[in-house]
Amino acid sequence: MSRLPSPDLARVSGDLEILASYRDPEAPGWTRRVFSGFDRAGREWVAARMQEAGLRVETDAAANLIGRLPGTGGLPGAIVTGSHTDTVHGGGRFDGIIGVLGAIEAVRCLRAAEVELEHDLVVVDFLGEEPNDFGLSCVGSRAISGALDEGHLALLGPDGRSLSEALAAAGGVPSALGGARWPEGLHCYVELHIEQGPVLEQARVPIGVVTGIAGIHRLRARFEGRPDHAGTTPMSLRRDALSGAAELALAIERLAQGGVATTGRLEIRPGAHNVVPGEADLWAEARSPDAQWLDSFGRAVADEFDGIGARRQLGTTLTWISREPPVTVTDWVADSIDQAATSLGNRVLRIPSGAGHDASHMARLGPMGMVFVPSRAGRSHCPEEWTDLEDIGRGIAVLVQALVVCDHRKEERSRGRRSGLDD
């Protein structure tokens, strides 16, 4: 395989710095939340960079920014790469961003080497990957994969505005969302992203080849006891809802062996110093790339919950808020990334992704794979989020090479789609 020009690190660093300057100065870190003017201005700057790199740029009905480089083969499915440029409140400068700026740099590298792919190459800056005020994430990639529905559009934000209205203000056309859906399949989707965890850094390996994206099961557990006087009610006669919830939180921690599980929120009522808590609501989630583990975890939590309720004479209601299945990475795409990385002299580690990504939704449309680069101390979604420029450069070089390898994988075309969401 011929060597392609290396990414221009000074140019990449300059791009990162400029995009980071589109931030809310009133908020901590590098805040550029979807539907804000900062996000809109940042994406206009990204669109100009796409154009400069030689991409034909358009914005679809879901306000996704899409740049296309036509292939020479007139082939039906495109090779798609990209990520998102919105951040969480108080977020960092790398999550999602290196996948978009890296994809643009990849196009520059290919063009500089006069390497033409047979497939169209499509670069996407997906709208709003991070959770927004409407409680939804991955707005743009959901729309492209046909999973953004009327119910989502009707979701209301804290100011009473609907997601549909916010989308229109961001340059989308909610009434034409059907047109944002890509009816044709993809040749493949490859996303470069920071790991957002400590595994690569601890292993001192520069490139992660993602094996799958964790499924997420979220629950709410409600205990109902009796609010009694904290001074006059003997311990043996209490029905303390908070003590039940505390026991369940510890059980969830214990049952998380083999995956991860978190109790992230707890509300008690009436919530007074001198009253035994009469009601407690606990919100928890579990994540794993293993669907069976998630199911058995769910059963074990439900058993513990019933047991605690019976022992403490508490009423119990368990609600599964969502059960997102794990997403399978397509073997031939992962192998192509692996081959690209090792051909460039990189050590590679195969790792699952504990975080959700636009790739989870793109997997509905066709073969999918992801490249990870290390996150310092595993930090992400915070101002301290950091990835060394050299690591970003290595990731982009692997992306360029992987796009070329995937372009050559023509025999895979007839094998159809593979995705965990379809299983």
- Indicate the pairing of strand 348-353 with strand 207-213: parallel
- Output the smallest distance, CB 215 to Zn ion, in A: 17
Residue 366 engages Zn ion in binding (rule: CB under 5 A): no
- Measure Cα distances from 315 to 217, 229, 236, 309 in Å: 23, 19, 17, 6
Applying CB under 5 A, among 96, 197, 206, 366 the residue interacting with Zn ion is: 96
- Output the smallest distance, CB 135 to Zn ion, in A: 17
Residue 338 engages Zn ion in binding (rule: CB under 5 A): no
Q: Could you tell me how many residues of this chain bind Zn ion (CB under 5 A)?
A: 2
Exposure on the CB side of residue 125, measured as CA atoms within 13 A: 29
Nearer to Zn ion, 196 or 419 (CB): 196
- Output the smallest distance, CB 195 to Zn ion, in A: 11
Applying CB under 5 A, among 39, 95, 105, 304 the residue interacting with Zn ion is: 95
DSSP H/E element including 42: helix 37-52
- Output the smallest distance, CB 100 to Zn ion, in A: 10
CA angle 154–421–413, rounded 5-degree value:
120
- Of the candidate spans 28-36, 93-101, 135-143, 291-299, the one that interacts with Zn ion by CB under 5 A turns out to be 93-101
The DSSP secondary structure of 91-137, one letter per residue, reads --SSTTHHHHHHHHHHHHHHHHTT---SS-EEEEEES--S--TTS--
Nearer to Zn ion, 385 or 412 (CB): 385
Are 256 and 286 within 8 A, CB to CB?
yes
Cα–Cα distance, 249 to 226 (Å, whole number) = 20
Nearer to Zn ion, 138 or 148 (CB): 138
Report which of 49, 187, 50 is spatially closest to residue 120, judged by C-alpha positions.
187
State the residue number with the nearest CB to Zn ion.
96
- Output the smallest distance, CB 141 to Zn ion, in A: 11
- Output the smallest distance, CB 183 to Zn ion, in A: 26
Query: Residue 289, preceding bond cis, omega within 30 degrees?
Result: no
Nearer to Zn ion, 77 or 96 (CB): 96
For residue 224, give every residue at least 6 positions away whose Cβ sits within 8 Å of its Cβ, in sequence order, or none: 241, 278, 279, 314, 315, 316, 317
Nearer to Zn ion, 29 or 225 (CB): 29
Nearer to Zn ion, 91 or 174 (CB): 91
Nearer to Zn ion, 82 or 96 (CB): 96
- Of the candidate spans 87-95, 157-165, 299-307, 395-403, the one that interacts with Zn ion by CB under 5 A turns out to be 87-95
Interface residue list for Zn ion (CB under 5 A): 95-96
